[in-house]
Structure 1
Amino acid sequence: MARYFIRLSYCGTAYNGWQSQPHKGTITIQSTIENALHTYLRKDIPITGCGRTDTGVHAKDYIAHFDFEPLDDIPTIIHRLNRVLPDDIAIHDIYRVKDDAHARFNAISRSYQYRLHTNKSPFKPYSYFYFYDTPDLSVLNQTANLLLEYTDFTTFCKLHSGAKTMDCHLTESAWIKNGEDYTYKVTSDRFLRGMIRLIVGMCLQVARGKASLEEVKNALNNQDRLSQDWSVPAIGLMLCDIQYPDTIKWYES
């Protein structure tokens, strides 16, 4: 048996998140890809993803792994899988890695973007959050940059999340503006459940004058949880990049 990484992207609007669910009839990204693999390779092939994106969250660069006998003509396999899969899921690459490589546990960084627009558009209903106000970009960035000073993110974690540690090491936290579109970019070694959507909501609350930067600092210093009411919808969130060490690569001897 050989282990393979599969690189894909998807629009999460029509799915109940990444992970397969025990409830019959619940459609997820994982179950849809496993069904496609079964259709083409004629075997049940479980796949393991790099993370559990929630319902409605998208991914531009997602990695999963699976085990199978050594594959030949991978470009043809990719082409035929894409013909089986629905239009909102695309396979971009399949490549062999070391037998113990793990899509989730070997990842060293993950980068997400959250996108919103301030002028309602019928062409952005599935990948942008329509925000009815025009936030101050300088205040958004002042708030976002504050997070780079912290590693304990209890403040942004849902209760009963099951996380063993609240530590995350952010290396990027910034907003950019392009016309009427705003994008929050964040990179870390890991994220807590609901963390990014609550960070975005917090930034918007401060930019609108509904909360102060001092309140956010106090919450972070005291590990006080912010209100989940501040959390923004999943529609604007996208996993954009995931990085692995070169040591997981498989080289034919």
Structure 2
Amino acid sequence: MNLQSKRYFIELAFNGEAYHGWQIQHNANTVQEMLNIALSKLLRGAVETVGCGRTDTGVHAKQLYAHFDDNHGMIADNEDRILTGMNALLPRDIAVKRLFAVDQSAHARFDAVKRSYEYHVHFNKDPFLYGRSWQIRDKPNVEAMNEAAQLMMAYKDFSCFSKSHTQVFTNNCVITHAAWQWLNTDQLVFYISADRFLRNMVRAIVGTLMEIGSGKQPVGYIRNVIESKNRSKAGVSVPACGLYLTEVLYPWDLT
């Protein structure tokens, strides 16, 4: 290992509307690629970031962490200058909030112990919510959806909500919070937290709960879906525009 190497965490936020998610892909515009390009210019050498997880196309993040190694000591107590430079180079829909040194063994993805998402829904046409919330016509039965959400928390294997052909070691997740709440008479938000999430999991959960909220399925339907371990039994994946990664927690204090 380069003796000058020092590991840094970046806290960032982005509007995902223009991006094919976080992770670098061939022939697609991604947040990770934009971040790598900006850092490589500032540090005058190739930089590869590692994110706390991947977000799908069109998904937003209010808080996402990534780490990278400064192999040549270019930052060296100039965090504020580098932070300013990154925000100047990055497009307006990506903002870096903090840059700080961490232990060399710290890992943005593997060390995260909790992740939280919000899914936003609204019911009347609003140009200021376009691309940032899912508009539907009829208001669902929130009490029924919350009852189903509580039943869901008794399970760990969420294969039924995972995108097909995803290569992961396990489909087990520990959900610690899941609830719908009205922001006002026209905006509804689903809050969910877990130790980890599967690809497309939150959008599939919201689609399934909406089946219950609309009266198409009973509350107990959620049990049948989860116990089937079959993605085709769950509801559709709702649009990405309403989904936000909002918080990532680690076993150490990042404040």
Shorter chain as denominator, the TM-score bin is over 0.9
**Do structure 1's residue 28 and structure 2's residue 30 form an aligned pair?**
yes
Q: Determine the structure 2 residue equivalent to 1:19.
A: 23
TM-score (norm 1): 0.93
Which secondary structure state, in structure 1, belongs to the residue aligned with residue 245 of structure 2?
strand
Which secondary structure state, in structure 2, belongs to the residue aligned with residue 171 of structure 1?
strand
RMSD: 1.5
Task: Tell me, in whole angstroms, the C-alpha distance in 1 between the residues paired with 2:23 and 2:209.
Answer: 29
Unaligned runs of 5+ in 1: none
Deviations 1:2-30 (A, max 9, x none): 0000000000000111111123xx21101
Match of 1:170 among 170, 175, 187: 175
Identity, in percent, stands at: 39
Q: Quote the offset at 1:227 in angstroms.
A: 4.5
**Do structure 1's residue 116 and structure 2's residue 118 form an aligned pair?**
no
- Which amino acid in 2 is paired with 1:147? M
- Which amino acid in 1 is paired with 2:59? V
Which secondary structure state, in structure 1, belongs to the residue aligned with residue 153 of structure 2?
helix
Match of 2:105 among 77, 95, 100: 100
Query: Does the aligned pair in 1 maintain the 2:49–2:68 contact within 8 Å?
Result: yes
Q: Determine the structure 1 residue equivalent to 2:90.
A: 85
Unaligned runs of 5+ in 2: none
Q: Determine the structure 2 residue equivalent to 1:7.
A: 11
Match of 1:246 among 234, 252, 255: 252
Q: Determine the structure 1 residue equivalent to 2:135.
A: 130
Q: Determine the structure 1 residue equivalent to 2:42.
A: 40
**Do structure 1's residue 199 and structure 2's residue 205 form an aligned pair?**
yes
Task: Tell me, in whole angstroms, the C-alpha distance in 2 between the residues paired with 1:161 and 1:115.
Answer: 26
Task: Tell me, in whole angstroms, the C-alpha distance in 2 between the residues paired with 1:140 and 1:191.
Answer: 20
TM-score (norm 2): 0.92
- Say if 1:55 and 1:228 are closer, same or farther in 2 by CA, change over 3 A: farther
Query: Does the aligned pair in 1 maintain the 2:152–2:223 contact within 8 Å?
Result: no
Q: Determine the structure 2 residue equivalent to 1:181.
A: 187
Q: Determine the structure 2 residue equivalent to 1:51.
A: 53
Query: Does the aligned pair in 2 maintain the 1:205–1:230 contact within 8 Å?
Result: no
Query: Does the aligned pair in 1 maintain the 2:148–2:220 contact within 8 Å?
Result: no
Which secondary structure state, in structure 2, belongs to the residue aligned with residue 213 of structure 1?
coil
Q: Quote the offset at 1:221 in angstroms.
A: 2.6
Query: Does the aligned pair in 2 maintain the 1:110–1:242 contact within 8 Å?
Result: yes
Task: Tell me, in whole angstroms, the C-alpha distance in 2 between the residues paired with 1:174 and 1:229.
Answer: 18
- Say if 1:186 and 1:204 are closer, same or farther in 2 by CA, change over 3 A: same
- Which amino acid in 1 is paired with 2:226? L
Q: Determine the structure 2 residue equivalent to 1:144.
A: 149
Q: Quote the offset at 1:223 in angstroms.
A: 2.4
Give the count of matched residue pairs.
246
Query: Does the aligned pair in 1 maintain the 2:160–2:233 contact within 8 Å?
Result: no
Q: Which moved more, 1:122-131 or 1:37-46?
A: 37-46
Which secondary structure state, in structure 1, belongs to the residue aligned with residue 82 of structure 2?
helix
Query: Does the aligned pair in 2 maintain the 1:3–1:97 contact within 8 Å?
Result: yes
Query: Does the aligned pair in 1 maintain the 2:151–2:222 contact within 8 Å?
Result: no
Task: Tell me, in whole angstroms, the C-alpha distance in 2 between the residues paired with 1:150 and 1:244.
Answer: 23
Q: Quote the offset at 1:43 in angstroms.
A: 1.3
Which secondary structure state, in structure 2, belongs to the residue aligned with residue 116 of structure 1?
strand
Q: Quote the offset at 1:229 in angstroms.
A: 5.8
Task: Tell me, in whole angstroms, the C-alpha distance in 2 between the residues paired with 1:40 and 1:9.
Answer: 19
- Say if 1:154 and 1:172 are closer, same or farther in 2 by CA, change over 3 A: same
Q: Which runs of 4+ in 1 moved over 3 A?
A: 226-229
Deviations 1:30-62 (A, max 9, x none): 111111112222211111111110110000010
